[in-house]
Structure 1
Amino acid sequence: MKVFGVDIGGSGIKGAPVDLARGDLAEERYKVLTPHPATPEGVADCVKEVVDHFGWTGPVGATFPGVVTDGTTRTAANVDQGWIGLDADALLTGRLGGESAARPVTLLNDADAAGLAEMRYGAGRDRPGTVIVLTLGTGIGSAVFTDGRLVPNTELGHLELHGHDAEKRASTKAKEDEGLSWQHWAHRVQKYLAHVEMLFSPELFVIGGGVSRKAEKFLPLIEGIRAEIVPAQLQNNAGIVGAAMAAHAARAGEPPAAAGSRAAAGAGRQPATAAGSAARAVRSAVDSPVGWPDAGR
């Protein structure tokens, strides 16, 4: 089964159809730069460009770098402040489908999406206890799981560490902006992990984001953490996969299909008012254990 996922980040917006049977991209992802300022309208245009690139018809899952509740974006640390309090589900669904709502959008926090993918298909699969997935990029995203159950919108990148938001010191952007060596940056990440470990006592840290492709450069330098630390297996595609999982879970009775197929003609064709109810539906899916409804079974 294929479902479309889009990952909205502070520096780039990328997406692709996802094969939920494998937990991997069905086609090579397409990426555009995040506009600056990252206003809702500007980002919505970019999301449309990514989805249109594949000629996709059907439901779309999308991530957002901030707190999302019932399709409304509540915070906006690394994007324009115009997102705060916005019915982003409705905005994106309208931009992708207009009145026909042929491509309804299900929105969730970006790190939660990455975490769900890693817990279902990747480094956290079948791991009991407390698992924390951290995405290191423009900021630091977090997804906390207890026995496979997600605690949504934890936003642990904004924990205070030595008088600063942790992500201002230990994100990949901080490394790049300050020209830090791998060793110096790893020391900062170590301090951050020690702080999170003190608060949550996880059995496992999964480190995601684009930097996970270079895990051998910094993970061996991190010392003194009791929990196991591993790189994300889905690396920087985890958000796309998790977004597709959420879109499928919100509409488990309506499996989407790519444009051009007979199934695509009817997939996701709901009245425009369905966007809000779909967004609410994903809350129950996100709050459930990682055994998502028939996705990839």
Structure 2
Amino acid sequence: MNLKDEINKKAISWLIKDREGLTQNEEAQFKKWIKNINHQKAFEQNKLLMNEYLTLDKKFINDIEFQIEKETKSVSFFNKSKYLVASIIMLFCISFLYNKYDNKVFSKEYTSLDKKILKISLLDNSIIDLDTNSNIQIEYKKDKRKIRFTKGKALFSVAKDNKRPFQIKTENIMIEVLGTKFEVINLSGITTVNVVEGSVKISYLSNNKKEDKKDLIVLKKADHYKIDKQGRIIEFGKIKINDIASWKNDLIYFKNDTLEKAFLVFEKYTNKKIIFDTYSLSQLKITGKFKSNQFDDFLEAVKVLYPISVVKKENIIKLVNK
């Protein structure tokens, strides 16, 4: 087995352990292992494949597991390591998935850090605008268009194609459209969808598997929908079209939001850590329109509203009562 195969095998082993829960010692070992750029690349590639593996037909997976465990039963070394057996099963399924990907037309990943990535043009003339600190993985096939949206905010303008649905996956939430324009926000395990035009279907994927998909709602123009990764609806109502994807114009809107939530939003744009002296301080409310690139002005507005002092130390800002 060459070095690349060894790295992939180790990456799969870490993925399996991570799903079951790492011990403190394993977590330290993993952090050391993942520092290598080749290890990082292998881990991310196999993570994408594992997500596909988890959506394979349940009977197909069970048949493979039974056959492989049967063949390795007589080998004591495999019996001592369930991770090796699981890795073999994963490698077999990943081999199957590579064949499955023969119909792949296009794939690419975009990660924005301190700057937005605007007007990402796709093969079908769909457009994606990506806010700062966001990540999407695009995969176009002959029969579908898929986006894995791991974090952040994005505005999608989807070209109509009746033969290829456009699917976006965040946590356990699936968003499906044929042609429309809408915003998706995936932050802290909560998915928010704001529709500019057209219609968007929202589904919940129990255990991250397609066969357990439960259709929840079809959203229309100006609908606002917020759901957590357990499938619990947090908010559902209307939103002003002009307020959707305000981040494109460096605008942030707060409507009776807590200071804790407001500063969490600004942390995303400033790379600063905000600390509150007391819990009651963090729960004070704020309403207004602010510029994401004018954090100091926002701080001054908060100080005018409430008797608060600001203590700055490097990248840490502490808010205390006067």
> Shorter-chain TM-score: which interval?
under 0.3
Larger Rg: 2
Structure 1 or 2: more strand by fraction: 2
TM-score (norm 2): 0.24
Higher relative contact order (CA 8 A, sep 6+): 1
